[in-house]
Chain A
């Protein structure tokens, strides 16, 4: 159990700046998720916490103590590697017992046996214990890799995409299991993923990483509802958020949003705080962003709706996704499944503007959104302690 602090950590590999001044403060007992696209530097952050790599600049602290010079063996972390990193010459049992047999974390064989069986049972793999890693499927290997970490009681669990290679059913089950294990053990956990569902469902807090930098840190709600820029907004959510470029103009009663090109313009619904913010910022060109669930559509002409054509239609089980095209601007919207939709048929789309987020057109930074104060209150709970 530990609080882990990274201060301005920098790491480069040759000419590639893998980490460019990363600062994180991971609280004790927190389930902390590192989320970002491939190659963002998430694994490098984990390696720096584990002590496998040492930062070129910056400080790594465990419970306030600087551990930059402590080697990986003495940091007391347990890590799940993305490529499993199982010892090929050892059975699953010996793999899992490995750490408990090392000089540093030595336990007696009775304890090891009890503990390994307990974890194996929990992970539903007690029938695999006598096998060699080469006799396992990828999903089984991944479970063994998880199990090897879980048999220990380290200061922190470091998990690098531990569920990536499991089948969907097992992944969901393991997600739930992981959450309860973490709650039960109360061990600080740092978890790397590129799956936003995993990030949102597991995390106490999420750090969005891109190109070696921390883009945003916050609760799942904060990241989802109050993204700091368009990049974060597009990463979270599937189908992706709709971004509609346009301009806002002040009218007598409020503000008016006009889509770029030949799109239509609408009066924005009243929101005093929002309008005050627009007034203060004085921006004109904005990107209006709306989640797919906040678009409505009709296949029959409705006055005031935007005329589009169907670009693609995918049924994904409990719902379907329609991509509607308006002069090159593609809008993703959610529809019930079982529709008979033809490509290129007409579809009329309207926006629930009172859910919109606004980003700066040039910098793509977050400007404002509807109900900001209220959402902020939910998404950013008061710090319990200092």
Chain B
């Protein structure tokens, strides 16, 4: 806290100093909708002095008395000259430049290019878009906004992870996520799991560490043609982040952005409230379910509750709702930016404090960012960026199953549970022991878990780079960008003595260290008019990238002193360590030709040497070529079509594999497998170690895998850009994949590494921007549509296989690839007769099953985002609707709610004779209609809907969500009153406000139990429910 105080005083000192100048003009540069235009250049006419606007478009400039006007310029807007005589305060409304020929975007290796010259699709999101309704994880702020980019939240845990996939998953192995790059440095986005423990804890994804207020722009490079220069790391696309800089020749500006939000559970299960806990209608404390007596039938008797009190049963309909709390998120950031003739600087401090909807869970994050540049002379300049991030979190819940600390299954309360009473009585005041929810102590009291058994982590991360730029000649630039991104994460999971399932207490700690080092040495030759009307740009470069990753994990059990989580206090300890290193050396080149500024051709080539591949196969070359033709430049009239471009790109990318996959080696075993999450540990009985041969038969002759892609697109703008259409067709095919195919276990191995398999993705992306109303007496209306339809097809698996397991989940459910289809969920289906009727077990009246059936795609058929923005003078309101159509989701929670008789639908037919619709095989071998009633509805639900009956628990994962709503108002400031505030804006913001339509009962369909770097999705297994957040935002600049 002392440090923060110090930063603030420095900020204010500089600020006061800045204000001590003579005549100061303050103002704001806005677009037609009234939104601030950041980074617009404000120059005093007739001089070189000037400044740039800050993130909300406001500026402050000190002018000599003689100055009469300012010249305001900004990319994509028509320059304006503004008279300042006699004014201290101005407002400048900028009109878009008539042509869109000057837009520039950031592309691979940080190369800025003019948008019109690109032969591939690049989407750009401005920092402004992200900072209005800020997400704690910036990945979420991409949701629904860019065609072809699909974001899936993982859970409602504080600091939860999000997964982003661009144009569909292309590989059978490895992470499907794109490469993230910040200021030219690859940004780690890992989500390492834990060595010990079963429950899946959502520790987030590492890109979530970045402070959204530090972001100037995000460029999304969707296809391989766009990312070819990054090489194999970007085969799933790239998301290139550029951070904010200070402006040269400007006074220090302080910007403050503060948000406070309240988070609630978005969707809670619909419970029955008629039946208590028990077994076949008889009340029993042993059961935590809804299969007891009808509450209204037992009002004449008293029974013991969990605490041992005699009570008359009564339903508490809101007991689960009241278990969850309102989480509070406060995001504050302050930045100081400015510059002199030769230097610029921006220093920012961000702080996020969040408490979760699960009681006692919280997260705190500090971000410090410095971005400073200096030009030494007209040949040499240097820029450095340093980010320091510290994240701490407490009480991230354990999800899934087979772990005593899994919380959400414990919130399946009997409907008669008084949650307030449970909260106040989770510990016996005399003995200090846990008071269980059930008499047989099979489940832990959720308040015991949240108050004692927490998953905590602490992360310290540095991301920094230096860019040296040397321009020996006007046409030659040599730059070297050297940087590192490393973090140290400490995780601790505590299980207190007295926890059922771990009565002696336990804890585990993991130390995770990851380091990326990257160096790019690039020379750029930029020659105008090489021959008449022909410009040439040549880039050659060398890249060196190295990753090292290590973990040290200790699992300790059998604690002596209660509450002391120190290794010396544990009778049993198991230790595991892991170290991994890989490196990549690349040489690349890029030749760009532009003819008369409307025809562009670009070719790239890159050769990589990858340490993970066999020495003879570790080098591979891949080319790309793309072209753009701005045909509107040849049109005489631009009245209707003011911009038109067609483009095409082709690329071929190779990639390596995991390190250490080539040699036949023996692994020292740390555990041996036992079902139900009960794996034992080595040394085994007698203190003996164990080694095991490999599960995967290695292959010393692996080749790089290969991805080819093409994309074709058109960009059209009509009626002075009031109608804009961008459409892209793409197709990628990834072959020679390095996969571990299942081999018959009788060979002694689970799998072997081979080059095989082919996966194709093809699809269309459409972005449509409309402006139905344009500045009609201050009123404007903008609509943005984005649409993506992607079809993934597994062409072949190889090795003669008809299916390939991508991820195994719980209860026999697997995510598999199979030829001719997209990745899908496989599991247990009902057994059916030739006419499709369900086959019933004649003796029980219950359904029969068969295994290994495919249920559907894990991916949607199409996704769409619709954003409407209404602006009236200083008011702006916008709403983003996010639509997903298709794909399926398996829900463990739904299974749990139904088998336990808690879901509202389990009320049907209770106590009545119920004959399930179906058939059975009679003695003569014919299928006849079933006549056997189920013995009870408890049997019907608990057996037919058990989690291993996949068919009973898969649903259409489509949804329509109101993703984001924001209302902002730029407060008109009476500048004459000499306040030093340059601009102020307040906003109301809401995220994940509403599920307008979905098809999964009881839970939000947007959830994923696998980590973000796993291929598998579409599976929910007792995840923390997702949240809705609403809040207020204030942005000020001085």
Are A and B bound to each other?
Answer: no
**B residues in contact (CB < 8 Å) with A:** none
**A residues in contact (CB < 8 Å) with B:** none
